Structure 1
Amino acid sequence: MCRTLAAFPNTCLERAKEFKTRLGIFLHKSDLGSNTGSIGKFEWSSKHGKEKNFSEDVLGWRESFDLLLSSKNGVAAFHAFLKTEFSEENLEFWLACEEFKKIRSATKLASRAHRIFEEFICSEAPKEVNIDHETRELTRMNLQAATATCFDTAQGKTHTLMEKDSYPRFLKSPAYRDLAAQASAASAPPSSCSLAEPSHT
């Protein structure tokens, strides 16, 4: 968004306001369940807690898949897109694994591991992810002595699948391209935000 708002023309402020509105609508479409945790909130923040403006965040999503995943709003927007393709379970599983790794209690680790397995991994799971039979069986064996790394192989497979398949389609989607165009306009210098000045000859 424009840095010194009062100093910029109305056209620039209007574009920035429209951009924020469009992004809010886009993220609102993501009807997130309780299992996806904090990504349901529309909050502008960076991974390290430093201020990061709207346009920088949105434009950064196309630089790399991991940069997208490090943005709360990027995750929410990507989740909204995946819901349109009926493949949101891959991202939800990846996020569940990230939260799982933070558990320090061995008892909680084991019980949560089984819940994740039943929800995402086992055959006929309600949100079964697209992994091969070998990975599924390896994960099943890992649960016999659950550790923070027991889902690493399955999580890696879903990450690769999303990065090579869903992520490129997300970047090409009309919704993201519209957001990126708005972000570019909002972050442009004052001269490009305003209408062109008539030339004096």
Structure 2
Amino acid sequence: MPKLLFSKMRIYEFKDLIPSGRKPRKLSGLLSRKGQKNNIRCILVRKIAENSPCDDYRSKVQCGNTASLGELLKNRYYLVTFREFLQSEFSEENIDFWLACRDYRDFTPPACRFLRATEIYQEFLHPTAVKEVNVDQCTRDKVKRSMAEASPWCFDEAAAHVFRLMESDSWPRFLHSSACGRLRAGGPTVPHLTSSSKCQ
């Protein structure tokens, strides 16, 4: 097979043969690039502002008359503000009990259920409890019986009863309160609620 012979060429000669796709940079292009960055920055800031929790929160509050209490309590800002309103009416034990029952059902490990259920019962359902909630004796007895089984749903009936009380009594007043009015105006800065369910 005949050998192919190539003449010796220097590297720069090959570069001269290949057409360059790059165009010389112009000063106007570099200057406009800075303007493009500013435009992108403005878009990003606007996008973050549009998706901020307070804006989403305000939109929910503005339609608060049609949204349910359950929907709006999923928003931690709304939840904290509603609790502060109940505190001003000396009835915050209702939302505290409802939150404790929710955390017990959703987050308490099986090994800790009996201990945590006993704590909740002593704090909210016992006749001498400092934060006693308005639950009938029949429901209290059901809770006490189901506590022995450490069921995750042992407080569901009592929690539903207290939720209905808040929905029919406190919730309509809250919608017409100054606290709700302040939310419509701008949205608050509030602390984060943490679960009270612990196993020691």
Q: With structure 2 as the length reference, what TM-score do the two structures score?
A: 0.63
Residue of structure 2 in register with 1:163 after alignment: 167
Residue of structure 2 in register with 1:130 after alignment: 134
| Residue 55 (structure 2) pairs with residue 55 (structure 1) | yes
Kindly provide the amino acid, as one letter, of the partner of residue 170 in structure 2: S
CA distance in 1, matches of 2:118, 2:182: 41
Aligned-pair CA distance for 1:106: 2.5
Residue of structure 1 in register with 2:31 after alignment: none
Unpaired segments ≥5 residues, structure 2: 1-41, 44-50, 188-200
- Listed one character per residue, the Cα deviations across residues 92-128 of structure 1 (whole Å, up to 9, x for unaligned) are 0111111111245332011100000000111121211
CA distance in 1, matches of 2:107, 2:55: 34
Q: Percent identity?
A: 36
Q: Assess if the C-alpha contact under 8 Å between 1:103 and 1:148 holds in 2.
A: no
Superposed CA RMSD in Å reads 2.2
CA distance in 2, matches of 1:170, 1:68: 12
CA distance in 2, matches of 1:86, 1:55: 30
Kindly provide the amino acid, as one letter, of the partner of residue 136 in structure 1: R
| Residue 120 (structure 2) pairs with residue 116 (structure 1) | yes
- Listed one character per residue, the Cα deviations across residues 143-196 of structure 1 (whole Å, up to 9, x for unaligned) are 12121000000000011111111111111101212321446xxxxxxxxxxxxx
Residue of structure 2 in register with 1:105 after alignment: 109
Unpaired segments ≥5 residues, structure 1: 1-5, 8-50, 184-201
Greater relative CO (CA pairs within 8 A, separation 6+): 1
Q: Secondary structure at the match of 2:106?
A: coil
CA distance in 2, matches of 1:96, 1:54: 26
* 104-113 or 86-95: bigger deviation: 104-113
2:99 to 78, 95, 100: 95
CA distance in 2, matches of 1:55, 1:124: 43
Q: With structure 1 as the length reference, what TM-score do the two structures score?
A: 0.62
Q: Assess if the C-alpha contact under 8 Å between 1:103 and 1:109 holds in 2.
A: no
Q: Assess if the C-alpha contact under 8 Å between 2:81 and 2:179 holds in 1.
A: no
